[in-house]
């Protein structure tokens, strides 16, 4: 049996769980307490971060690699978009740049060099790009969800939740609708059950 060490609210773990579920990969999910990480998890992945997938002895401890592994098993709706390079570009922009601004916005008290609004404005550059990508369609790169939509969803969700009132009135109507649709989807609600 495949085992996934996860933490329900971790955005990286969320995207790994969504890909595994979508691909229909049977997996036992072990919810990890970040204060008391299981010895079995640390034995196979000493860095101690979630998610960690043990797929019959193959250990994968990066969320994007878990997602790609799951899609290699089964990708019925073509989340990989036949290798569209824009997927990797969007995910890299999310993981390398947007995530930095998100952390500073979310934990602004730890970064007193600038006010919270300055960090939000930096992150908004990415939100603006995503909103523009959604012009004329419901998903970022195609007429159906792709790996990019699912990989970015937990991070956009986190950004929106820092100040929900601000996000609700922000000038990103297409992105707000995209986020709402995905948060209400069976795929997302199923992976968030306790």
Per-residue pLDDT of 148-182, as tens digits, reads: 999 999 999 999 999 999 999 999 999 999 999 99
Q: Are residues 70 and 100 in the same domain?
A: no
Q: Is 84 helix (H, G, I), strand (E, B) or coil?
A: coil
For residues 85 and 177, membership in a common domain is answered with yes
Instruction: Give burial (CB, 10 Å; 0-12/13-18/19+) of 135.
Output: exposed
Using alpha carbons, select from 43, 41, 21 the residue that is nearest to residue 185: 21
Looking up tokens 């998890």 gives 41
Examine the domain organization and report whether 71 and 89 are in the same domain: no
Separation CA 108–CA 120 (nearest Å) = 10
Beta bridge partners of 53: 4, 60
Q: Quick check: 13 and 61 in contact, CB under 8 A?
A: no
- 184 and 106: one domain? yes
Whole-number Å distance between alpha carbons of 66 and 12: 10
Q: Are 27 and 4 in contact (CB under 8 A)?
A: yes
Query: Do 86 and 110 sit in the same domain of this protein?
Result: yes
d(CA 21, CA 54): 15
* pLDDT tens per residue across span 49-108: 999 999 999 999 999 999 999 999 999 999 999 989 999 999 999 999 999 999 999 999
CA quadruple 176, 181, 187, 190: dihedral sign: positive
1 has a pLDDT exceeding 90: no
Domain of 11 in residue numbering reads as 2-76
129 pLDDT band, cuts 50/70/90, is very high
Q: Which of 177, 145, 163, 184 is nearest to 22 (CA)?
A: 145
Same domain, 109 and 38: no
Are 172 and 134 spatial neighbours (Cβ–Cβ below 8 Å)? no
Instruction: Examine residue 177 and state whether it is found in any structural domain, yes or no.
Output: yes
């Amino acid at each position: 049996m495949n085992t996934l060490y996860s933490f329900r609210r971790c955005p990286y773990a969320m995207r790994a769980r969504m890909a595994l579920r979508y691909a229909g990969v049977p997996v036992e999910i072990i919810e990890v307490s970040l204060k008391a990480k299981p010895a079995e998890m640390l034995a196979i992945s000493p860095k101690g971060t979630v998610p960690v997938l043990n797929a019959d002895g193959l250990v994968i401890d990066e969320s994007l690699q878990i997602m790609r592994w799951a899609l290699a098993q089964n990708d019925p709706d073509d989340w990989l978009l036949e290798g569209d390079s824009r997927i990797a570009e969007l995910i890299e922009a999310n993981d390398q740049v947007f995530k930095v601004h998100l952390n500073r916005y979310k934990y602004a008290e730890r970064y007193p060099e600038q006010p919270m609004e300055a960090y939000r404005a930096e992150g908004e550059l990415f939100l603006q790009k995503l909103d523009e990508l959604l012009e004329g369609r419901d998903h970022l790169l195609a007429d159906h969800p792709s790996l990019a939509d699912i990989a970015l969803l937990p991070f956009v969700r986190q950004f929106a939740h820092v100040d929900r009132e601000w996000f609700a009135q922000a000038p990103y109507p297409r992105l707000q609708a995209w986020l709402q649709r995905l948060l209400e989807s069976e795929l997302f609600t199923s992976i968030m059950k306790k």
